[in-house]
Structure 1
């Protein structure tokens, strides 16, 4: 668990509800590609926009469609009571692991976040991944706080933000965190453009948005890095530079991934929760051009 490629699909939806058939088709495709795990209800899965009941339904559909591939379910919410409810529903559905971000409206303190993870870790029976995503939560973990949380029961992975692109700097960043956490807690890289560097620097997992759409491409990069083939891993990442540029220019991966899903028929429009929208106009034309140039059909 929490090693290799964890592919994160979209949760296609409109204001009437989740597009269940489209979602299960995305999950089934990941299972067929034999990714190491499937991560649902992460940021790419728009977890923050769904009710507790909708999230329970997504967890159930995920496990049913995953053909035995472990499913990691995001459980983050504003209130601890809802986090615990999400955790219980995910476990009842058969989730292999849970993913928890410290979601907030009011600014959280380190003690708030530690107490959240302490409460949840003692209430669950499956492994837990710490979701460190300051871009959405606006909470910044220190390595020392990660070290405290990593000692809690059931905590088995930390999903970190992108590492520096210089490999030596990336290795140093991973080593600093590794020195503070138990050996049985993995470090996973997020931020697709930094995946090759992160894996080569010592991260054991890649929590991937691109993997949710193109699992074969993401697996090839992951396996090259796991085999220590730095040249092949970096070459595969460099070949996707036009895609990474879209992430950079359009505010992250979610809108880009959702736009790709609409343009390639993986999801019908609209597929994001309002008020979010996929890219339109010239931006959408640019995404279409990258799909053609990289043969991302």
Structure 2
């Protein structure tokens, strides 16, 4: 399952908790679009704001409505015992893989992060993806640490936060990490503006936030890169620069994608856990225009 496009939907909320109807529509929409896998309860899926019962329910709903598309579920939490409990819940739901970020309040060191992954690897029976997202976790993985973790049983993929803009430098970055990991451990790119560059540089898959809301748009970029059409993939990605600019303005994609879900009728607003809020005002109007003029779907 660790190739192609892994699409990460939001987890829409309402006053009662998870908006199950909206979430299942999003998952079914991704499956119908033909994404290669679905990543539920990632950062865009606001996993950190949900309790254990809600996360277990979301995992079950994702698997039930994915129509056979492999589902990966985030299990990050502050304490290792909570991570293990979430891993057990997700496995009982029938997920195909687990996504683990080193969540912390006090900053973690490299040995603590390694021990987290080692403990989880000893206690699960499905593949685990290493979630390297320093913008959220405030932890910077070294290549050496990635290499150590990649040797552990059940580690199957490393989700890196982007690649250099220069194609040669991007290829060198991926090759350097590729050399440290066993052949069965895939390297995947995240940070949507880096998707095309990462795939063309040798990443096996794109872990994509916009894939969770605009699967057709994202699949076009992915398939071009997979076919060796790096220029076409770059062209399709460059069209989305106004979207990348909005992501940068709001220090991430979550608030923008949540607004897009509302504009497209996929989730009622507000759909984020307070105090988080989707973008509004002139920027929301600008986003609506982009969805129309760029034919995002």
Q: TM-score range by the shorter chain?
A: over 0.9
Would the aligned equivalents of 1:7 and 1:30 in 2 still touch at CA under 8 Å? yes
Matched position secondary structure for 2:123: coil
TM-score, normalised to structure 2's length? 0.98
Looking at structure 2, the residues matched to 15 and 51 of structure 1 have their Cα atoms a distance apart, in angstroms, of 15
TM-score, normalised to structure 1's length? 0.98
Looking at structure 1, the residues matched to 245 and 293 of structure 2 have their Cα atoms a distance apart, in angstroms, of 13
Deviates more, 1:240-249 or 1:112-121: 240-249
Corresponding position of 1:159: 159
Structure 2: any 5+ residue segments left out of the alignment? none
Equivalenced residues, count: 297
Corresponding position of 2:60: 60
Structure 1: any 5+ residue segments left out of the alignment? none
Deviates more, 1:240-249 or 1:122-131: 240-249
Corresponding position of 2:47: 47
Corresponding position of 1:291: 291
Deviation of 1:151 after TM superposition, in Å, equals 0.2
Deviation of 1:292 after TM superposition, in Å, equals 2.3
Would the aligned equivalents of 2:217 and 2:296 in 1 still touch at CA under 8 Å? no
Deviates more, 1:77-86 or 1:276-285: 276-285
Q: What do residues 192-242 of structure 1 show as CA deviations (whole Å, max 9, x unaligned)?
A: 111000000000010001110111111111111111111211111112122
Within-5 A mapping of 1:144-183: 144-183=144-183
Looking at structure 1, the residues matched to 189 and 15 of structure 2 have their Cα atoms a distance apart, in angstroms, of 32
Corresponding position of 1:275: 275
Within-5 A mapping of 1:108-123: 108-123=108-123
Would the aligned equivalents of 2:128 and 2:154 in 1 still touch at CA under 8 Å? yes
Matched position secondary structure for 1:179: helix
Corresponding position of 1:217: 217
Corresponding position of 1:9: 9
Corresponding position of 2:262: 262
What is the Cα-based RMSD across aligned positions, in Å? 0.9
Would the aligned equivalents of 1:8 and 1:209 in 2 still touch at CA under 8 Å? yes
Deviation of 1:15 after TM superposition, in Å, equals 4.1
